[in-house]
Structure 1
């Protein structure tokens, strides 16, 4: 039984990563990390500059992670329904979606931090 599941198209990277991304975003949103010394949370050089940047980065990354998780789940299920076997293109699409989703999560979160904070970690006030 397990062997047939592992060889089915429903066993793909996009579905597993989609579930993981959604759960990660949900947990960080529901239980935000208290400090940069927490064992979980969105951690980068920019996000750990100040406590305000840490809070803001984790809040935004949790939101984006849930969105990416839903898109990955939809991609994985669509690929499972379209492809009849785990062909090369099946793996390119499902793994490529995971890589693109991860790059989007990191890139968009870092861009959001640079838009709202200066190089010293102080919030930029809108004019």
Structure 2
């Protein structure tokens, strides 16, 4: 098996498992050990719940994309031989992508004080 397949497959499956845990067992209270923890998400219970719900769905999507890429590499030999560097780049990209997307989502829904914006 090629390093690309291993790196993307393991990371994709890990993201899927982590997202399923937080989707089915979301953190009930704001805490410093479990859940999506940023300054914006920890402003109040509403931002906390929204950030954890949204980031879990994004992690599931990113994990699915990485896992699908790993599975595709079995059928497209040139993809599986792209190397570990490409796998690591994709891993970092899809592991970190939920953070700026969740922060942007929170900025759209809440003001700086954590109050839900009205349209």
1:29-40 matched pairs, under 5 angstroms: 29-37=23-31, 39-40=33-34
Residues 90 and 79 (structure 1 numbering): CA distance in 2 closer, same or farther, change over 3 Å?
farther
TM-score relative to the length of structure 1: 0.82
Q: Which has the higher contact order (CA 8 A, sep 6+)?
A: 2
- Give the drift of 1:99: 0.8
Among residues 58, 62, 65, which one is paired with 1:68 in the alignment?
Answer: 62
Residues 1-127 of structure 1: pairs in structure 2 closer than 5 A: 8-9=1-2, 12-37=6-31, 39-83=33-77, 89-125=82-118, 127=119
How far did 1:83 drift? 4.0
5+ residue gaps, structure 1, are 1-7
Of structures 1 and 2, the larger Rg is shown by: 1
Question: Deviations along 1:6-57, whole A, 9 cap, x unmatched?
Answer: xx22752111111111111111110110112263211111111111100000
Offset of residue 80 of structure 1: 4.2
> Aligned-pair RMSD on alpha carbons?
2.1
CA distance in 2, matches of 1:104, 1:93: 16
Residues 76 and 94 of structure 1 are in contact (CA less than 8 Å); yes or no, is this contact kept in structure 2?
Answer: no
Tell me, which stretches of 5 or more residues in structure 2 are unaligned? none
Distance 1:98 1:80 in 2: 18
